[in-house]
Amino acid sequence: MTRMLWDDDEEDDQEDVSSNASKLEVQADKASSQKSTAASSSGEGSASVSGSRSPARAKSSKSKVAKKRVVKEDKKSTDKNDLEKSVVEKSVLEKLPDEPGTTSESPLSIEDLNQWIAAAIEANIPKVWVAGEITDLSQPRSGHIYMGLKDANAQIRAVLWRSSAERLKFKLEDGQAVLAYGRVDLYSPRGSYQLVIERIEPQGVGALQLAFQQLYQRLAKEGLFDADRKKPLVRFPKRIGFVTSPSGAAIKDFLEVLRRRWRGTDVIIIPAKVQGVGAAEEIVAGIQIAQRIVPPLDCLVVGRGGGSMEDLWCFNEEVVVRAIAASKIQTISAVGHEIDVTLSDLVADVRALTPSEAAELVVPSEVDVLTIVEGYERRLTQSLQQKFDLYRLRLDSIARRPVVTRPEEYIAQRAQRIDELSIRIERAIDRTLEAMRLKLASSAASLDALSPLKTLERGYSLTRLVASKVDSQGVGDADASFLLTSSSQVAVGDTLETRLDKGLIESLVTRIVE
C-alpha cells in the first residue's frame, strides 16, 4: 500500500477548492445554457455525458441539473450572504467561453479542467454515507484529520476538517470500521478526488483488527503469551538466524548495527516472503529450517520493516504464531516500527521494536563489554595488591614477635606460667574439699538431730503390730504389721513388738482400755 503524505501548506488550498464548488456550478450552468440554445436552433437533442463526445457537450447535459439546483437554492435562500454569492456567480457566467476546450484556439488550462470536473462531481454525486475501514490515519498540528477509507477491493482518500474534527466524541484509529457522511470533492492541485467528511460514526473494528483480537483471545487461553514460557537470550551468541526478505531494509539495518556492536557473531539469513500471499507459509518454513541447522543457532530473529496492518498481517497468522511458540531456539520478533504490534511480537521470547533494536538486544556492545572487562581487571589488580600488602604487614608483625626473635625466653615464660597455674589449681582443690567436708558434717548433724533413735534415747518407744490378722476363712493380711498410734488398732490376742533405746520387748494383748 502506498502511503499518501499530506503537506500542511496544501490544507488551506483544499478548503478554498471546496468553497468554490458553487461557483463552478454556475460556470457550468452558463456553458449549458449556451449549448442548449445552439442545440435547439439546429434541431439536435441535448447531449449526455459519454466518453466518445467532447468534454463541453458532456458538461452541458450534466450542468442542467446543477443549474436547476442553484436556481432552486437561490429562491429558497433568504440569507444576505447567499444573495451576494448569487450576484458573484452570475458575473462569472458572463465571462465563461461558449465552448471552452472544443478547439485549439480556446484550450482549457489544467486548473479549468479540474474545476470543470469538480463541478461535474458536485452536480451529479450527492452527499453519501460510506462504510469502510480507516487506514493511514494522520493528524498534523493544523487539527485536520487525513485518512484512507477502504474495503476489500478499493479505497479512497478522505479528510475531516478541523471544525468537524473538534466535534468528534471518540478517537479515530487505524483499523477502525466507520460510517462516514460527506461529499466527494476534487483537490485541484493534485487532480485527485477525496471524500470530505462531515459526520463520522464508529462501526466497531475493521475485519483485520477484529481477526487480530479474536485470534489473540483464543491463543491467550492456551497460554501462548504467558511470561513463564519465554526463554532467556544467550548472552554471547555465536550463530544468529534471521528469517526475512534478503533484499529488505530490515536485514541491512540489522547487519549494520550488528557489525558496529559485536564482531564475533555469524548471521545466517533464511530467505522468506514477508508480505502478500504465501508469506506466512514461507516464514513458517524458515523457522522450521532454523531448527535443523547444524551447528545449532543460539538465537533466531523473525521480522521485517514497517508497513500498514495489511503489509504486516502475515506475522499475525496463526501458523506463524504457533511456529514461533514451538521454536526450541530463543526467538526475537522484530516486526515493523515501534507503533506496530503483531501476535508474533507477543509470542516471541523477546520483542524488538525495530530490526535495529533486535541487533542491540541479541548481542552486547563490544565497547561496553571491554569497559566491563577492564573494570574487572582493575578491581582484581587492586584486590590482589591489597591482599599482598596486608599479608606483608602481618608477616612483618609476626617476625617482630618474641616467640620468633627469642624463642627460649618465650618458652621459659610459658613454663613459669604453667607452674603458677598448677599451684593455683592445687590450692583451689584443697579449699573446695575442705568446704565440702564442712558441709557434709553440718548435714550429718542435722540428720542425727531428726533421727527417731534420738527420741528413744530420751525414754520414748515404738510399738508395732507383728502378728498377722487372719479372717474367718484363714487368710492373713500381709499389711497388718504397722506402727500403732491408737488402741483401736489392735485386738485381744495380738502380738506387739516394742522398740526401746536398747533392745526389743514382745508382748501379748490381754486387755484393751479405751
Q: So where are the chain's domains?
A: 10-121, 128-205, 225-364, 462-508
Nearest to 262 by CA among 184, 331, 361: 361
Highest average pLDDT, of 15-19, 82-86, 315-319, 336-340, comes from 315-319
Mean pLDDT computed over 479-501: 81
pLDDT value of position 458: 74
Classified by CATH at the fold level, domain 128-205 comes out as OB fold (Dihydrolipoamide Acetyltransferase, E2P) (2.40.50)
pLDDT value of position 152: 85
Distance CA 495, CA 30 (A): 166
Distance CA 218, CA 224 (A): 10
**What is residue 20's DSSP assignment?**
T
pLDDT value of position 302: 96
Distance CA 358, CA 303 (A): 9
**What is residue 263's DSSP assignment?**
S
CB 467 within 8 A of CB 480: yes
Nearest to 254 by CA among 120, 149, 357: 357
Mean residue pLDDT across the chain: 79
Nearest to 237 by CA among 313, 299, 181, 321: 299
pTM above 0.75, yes or no: no
pLDDT value of position 291: 95
Kindly report whether the peptide bond that precedes residue 295 is cis, defined as omega within 30 degrees of 0.
yes
CATH 3.20.20.140 fits 225-364, yes or no: no
pLDDT value of position 392: 92
pLDDT value of position 205: 60
Residue type, 360: E
pLDDT value of position 378: 94
CB-based burial label for 381 (10 Å; 0-12, 13-18, 19+): exposed
Does residue 428 carry a pLDDT above 90?
A: yes
pLDDT value of position 288: 96
Residue type, 362: V
Position 279 confidence tier, pLDDT thresholds 50, 70, 90: very high
Distance CA 176, CA 206 (A): 5
83's torsion region: left (phi>0), alpha (psi -120 to 50) or beta? Answer: alpha
Q: At what angle do helices 21-42 and 80-95 cross, to 10 degrees?
A: 50
pLDDT value of position 50: 32
Please tell me which residue, 253 or 99, carries the higher pLDDT value: 253
pLDDT value of position 99: 58
Does residue 417 carry a pLDDT above 80?
A: yes
pLDDT value of position 337: 85
pLDDT value of position 242: 96
Distance of CA 165 to the CA centre of its chain: 32
Position 473 confidence tier, pLDDT thresholds 50, 70, 90: low
